C-alpha cells in the first residue's frame, strides 16, 4: 500500500506525516473511505442510497424462489402446474383454507359460508403480503424466518401457509361475529 503524505496539524496533536502515523481507529476509517464517502466498502452494502435497489432484489428473489426460498409467484400462476385439483394455486390454497377451517372452527366456517364470503377475499391479501399486516414486526420476522427456511416443495409450502392462515382466522372470530350483528348506515 502506498504511503499517503498529509500536511495537516490539529493544535495539541503531533504532526501526521503518513497514514501509518494515525491511530488504528482513524486509520481504519480512512482506509474504508472511498467514492461513497465515509461509508466505505461495508457502507456500500448498507447504504441508504441503495435501499430501493436492495428492496427490489429481495422482492424479486422472494417472488421467483431464488436459492430455495418460498416462490410466491407460483401462487399467482394461471397454469395449474403441480395443482392437485386442476385449479390455479391461489384458488387451491383458498379452498384448502376453507377445508381446514371447517375442521378447526366449524362455526366460523359456517358463518363465513352463510355470509357468502369466498376464502380468496381475505386469503389473497395474506398471500400477497405474506401476513405482513397481521403480525407485529418481531412476530412477522419469526414467521418469515420459518417460512423461508423451509423446503420450497410446493405441497409443503402450501400446507404450511394454509395452516398459518387458519391460525389467524380464529383470532378474529369474535370480531367477525360482532360485526355481522351490526348494521351500518
pLDDT in tens, 83-100: 556 777 777 777 888 888
State which residues form the domain around 145: 73-181
Residue 136 is assigned to a structural domain of this protein? yes
Domain total of the chain: 2
Same domain, 21 and 85: no
Residue 107 is assigned to a structural domain of this protein? yes
Residue 63 is assigned to a structural domain of this protein? no
> Which DSSP string corresponds to the chain?
----------TTSPPP-SGGGS-HHHHHHHHH-BTTBTTHHHHHHH-GGGHHHHHHHHHHHHHHTGGGS--GGGGG-SS-TT-SSSS-HHHHHHHHHHHHHHHH-HHHHHHHHHHT--THHHHHHHHHHTTTTTS-HHHHHHHHHHHHHS---HHHHHHHHHHHHHHHGGGGHHHHHHHHH----
Same domain, 5 and 83: no
Residue 10 is assigned to a structural domain of this protein? yes
Same domain, 100 and 160: yes
Same domain, 163 and 95: yes
- pLDDT tens, 10-61? 566 666 667 677 778 877 766 665 555 545 566 666 667 777 777 777 777 7
Amino acid at each position: 500500500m502506498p504511503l499517503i503524505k498529509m500536511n495537516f496539524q490539529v493544535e495539541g496533536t503531533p504532526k501526521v506525516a503518513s497514514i501509518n502515523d494515525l491511530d488504528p481507529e482513524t486509520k481504519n476509517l480512512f482506509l474504508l473511505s472511498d467514492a461513497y464517502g465515509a461509508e466505505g466498502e461495508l457502507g456500500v452494502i448498507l447504504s441508504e442510497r441503495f435501499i430501493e435497489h436492495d428492496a427490489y432484489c429481495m422482492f424479486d428473489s422472494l417472488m421467483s424462489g431464488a436459492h430455495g426460498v418460498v416462490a410466491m409467484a407460483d401462487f399467482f400462476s394461471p397454469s395449474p402446474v403441480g395443482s392437485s385439483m386442476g385449479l390455479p394455486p391461489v384458488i387451491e390454497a383458498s379452498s384448502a383454507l376453507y377445508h381446514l377451517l371447517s375442521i378447526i372452527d366449524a362455526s366460523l366456517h359456517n358463518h363465513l359460508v352463510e355470509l357468502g364470503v369466498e376464502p380468496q377475499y381475505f386469503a389473497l391479501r395474506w398471500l400477497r403480503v405474506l401476513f405482513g399486516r397481521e403480525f407485529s414486526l418481531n412476530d412477522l420476522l419469526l414467521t418469515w424466518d420459518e417460512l423461508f427456511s423451509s423446503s420450497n416443495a410446493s405441497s409443503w409450502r402450501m400446507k404450511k401457509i394454509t395452516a398459518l392462515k387458519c391460525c389467524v382466522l380464529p383470532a378474529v372470530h369474535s370480531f367477525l361475529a360482532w360485526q355481522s350483528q351490526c348494521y351500518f348506515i
